[in-house]
Structure 1
Amino acid sequence: MSHQAHLLTLAGTFLLVLLTLSLWFAYVLGVRAQRRRRKAWHCWRLVSFSFGCGLLVLALSPPMVEWGHADLRGHMAQHLLLGMFAPIALMLGAPGTLLLRSVPVVTARRLTDIAGSPLVRCMSHPVTALLLNIGGLYVLYLTPLYQLSFNQPLLHVWLQLHFVLAGYLFSWSIAGPDPAPHRPGMWLRLGVLFVAIAAHAVLGKLMYAYGFPRDSAHDLAQIEAAAQLMYYGGDLAELLLALVFFAAWYRRRTMSDALDWQTANRRT
């Protein structure tokens, strides 16, 4: 990467950091407004969203950016933070719910209508989210796109943003706490999660066995180490997402059983 392209990449990354901090500040203001209105908002959601923003800032910090440019292992660490761990923490913060509570009723209804539109429903479907998330990784690492991104600052910054957005969309489509009236059933989401785990593992094995991404400036030992980082780091992130999924499933079943018990008692 040329010196000018490197400076442009750093500038674009800095804008992403500013965007992250702005979103965190808006979230904090939303939580503060809820508490002023004496509306409950769990403290752990604020902590989770703040932790997710912190992971994004860490992944976009100058040392991580320099490591990611020089070493495929650094790039893979960025991918894990941006596309897997940070999105799970952000999703658990339920920013969509906070947004709907913070805006006027008319605006909230418009946002709900937009969320229920066919286009948004298609984009937020777990299968679509899977293709954007894991499918995007296959395109990046098994084609010349990875090497091309180091010569195109705009493309490089867009890929970082794509990691975050696709990772968040996938996490939310599987186990997001925000309201989603058209979200598919639990069994379909569980199946998509299992496919994602398998696809991510297969990609790591392909990179390790065949030296992808090819024609890059990284030696084989570095590629193998990055592939192992993707394999085991991805397993850990997907295990966390699975735990969130099953916790939500258990909570839903518990609430359903409680309602059935109350209904039975009323009838008797």
Structure 2
Amino acid sequence: MQIINHLQHRAGMETHGLSLQLILSVPFIIALVIYLYAAIRSKRRKKSWRSYRIVMWITGIFCALAAIIGPLASSSHLDFTAHMLAHLLLGMLAPLLLVLACPMTLILRTLDVKHARSLSHILKSNPIRLISHPITASLLNVGGLWILYTTRLYQTMEHNGLVQIAVHLHVFLAGYLFTGAFIKADLHPHRTSYLYRSCVLIIAMSGHGILSKYIYAHPPLGVPIDQAKTGGLVMYYGGDLIDLILITILCYQWFKETRPRMNEAFNVLNK
């Protein structure tokens, strides 16, 4: 009888988990459809949209979906290492790819003038300017992770579906805002200098690296020590790898923007 009850309880948990996965996947599927529709509409208006951006959007969406639905998502509730892999996909790699796909630029190209201006005003509004500022975005992203893994929030998330949905959405959105705050790929309301963004990025990456070491030494509640150590290593080295891509893009954009000025200065000196 106990075996039957255990199997029924396990089946109920799996069904509940699958329902949460499906709910979380809906926004990403909608975003995929809207982006592809906008790209097709832009092409019909003879406004070409680069294919590599479409590929990045599709890849980014599938990275996010892999983190919230399927084998990795199911394993993440039992294995902290799998959870960290999902975290890297959902909170770091997917946002990077999606930002590089320039979704806001594409949407504005496909809207009529009236609606495009309305959306542009929203993107330049004070609330958007606040949350997309490099410092605010860093606090939401890295600070949110500190709260997740150093309090009871992680343990609560594993037993509460609504909290789980909220945490996953926060991890993704905070990661997206964080990435968009440092690289110039899409429309952005801030004009902070490259030096300023670089300094903030270094501090944010340090906070992320310190957290991974903290997790290695101090596992979150309910996480076995061996899983915490492996998960901490995944977070540290995996995060560094994605951060390296972000740094490379930032430095390339910085060099590309300052090169004309350097050439002008060089020509002036040679006169």
Query: TM-score, normalising length from structure 1?
Result: 0.90
Kindly indicate whether the alpha-carbon contact (under 8 Å) linking 2:66 and 2:73 is maintained by their aligned counterparts in 1.
no
Corresponding residue of 2:68:
60
- Map of 2:35 onto structure 1: 27
- Counterpart in the other structure of 1:213: 220
Cα displacement (A) at 1:179: 2.1
d(CA) in 2 for partners of 1:79, 1:101: 32
RMSD of aligned residue pairs (Cα, Å):
2.1
Q: Does 1:129 align with 2:154?
A: no
Cα distance in 2 for partners of 1:81, 1:96 equals 22
Aligned pairs for 1:1-268 (under 5 A) are: 4=12, 7-210=15-218, 212-214=219-221, 216=222, 218-254=223-259
Deviations 1:114-163 (A, max 9, x none): 12222211111010000100000000000011001111101011111111
- CA drift of 1:32 comes to 1.1
1:70 partner SS: coil
In structure 1, the residue matched to 2:6 is none
- Shift of the 255–19 alpha-carbon distance from structure 1 to 2, 3 Å rule, reads farther
- Residue 245 of structure 1 deviates from its aligned partner by 1.1
- Counterparts of 2:116 and 2:261 in 1: how far apart (Å)? 27
> Which position in structure 1 is the counterpart of 2:5?
none
CA contact (8 A) 2:17 2:74 kept: no
Q: CA deviation at 1:251?
A: 2.4
Question: Quick one: distance in 2 between partners of 1:75 and 1:233?
Answer: 13
Q: Output the amino acid matched with 1:15.
A: I
Looking at structure 2, the residues matched to 160 and 239 of structure 1 have their Cα atoms a distance apart, in angstroms, of: 24
Mapped partners of 2:122, 2:16: distance in 1: 35
Separation in 1 of the partners of 2:208 and 2:140?
A: 13
Following TM superposition, the consecutive aligned residue runs of length 4 or more in structure 1 with deviations greater than 4 angstroms are 2-6, 255-258
Shift of 1:256: 5.3
Q: 1:64 to 1:116 in 2, by over 3 A?
A: same
Counterpart AA for 2:55: V
The letter of the residue matching 1:206 is Y
* Runs of 5+ consecutive residues of structure 1 not aligned to the other structure: none
Counterpart-to-counterpart distance in 1, 2:91 and 2:224: 24
Tell me the alpha carbon deviations over residues 196-224 of structure 1, each in whole angstroms, 9 at most, x when there is no partner.
111111001111122x203x0x3211110
Q: Percent identity?
A: 35
The one of the two structures with greater contact order (alpha-carbon pairs below 8 A, sep at least 6) is 1
Does structure 2 conserve the Cα–Cα contact (< 8 Å) formed by 1:6 and 1:153?
no
Paired residues, number: 259
Question: Displacement of 1:187 after TM fit?
Answer: 1.2
Instruction: Pick closer, same or farther for the CA change 1:157–1:181 going to 2, 3 Å.
Output: closer
State the SS of the aligned residue for 1:74: helix
Change (3 A) 1:244 1:224: same
Deviation of 1:5 (Å): 5.7
Local SS of the residue matching 1:182: coil
Please give the per-residue CA displacement for 1:76-103, whole angstroms capped at 9, x wherever unaligned: 1110000001100000000010011111
CA distance in 2, matches of 1:195, 1:147: 28
C-alpha contact (below 8 Å) 2:67/2:90 kept by paired residues: yes
Structure 2 stretches of 5 or more lacking a match?
1-8
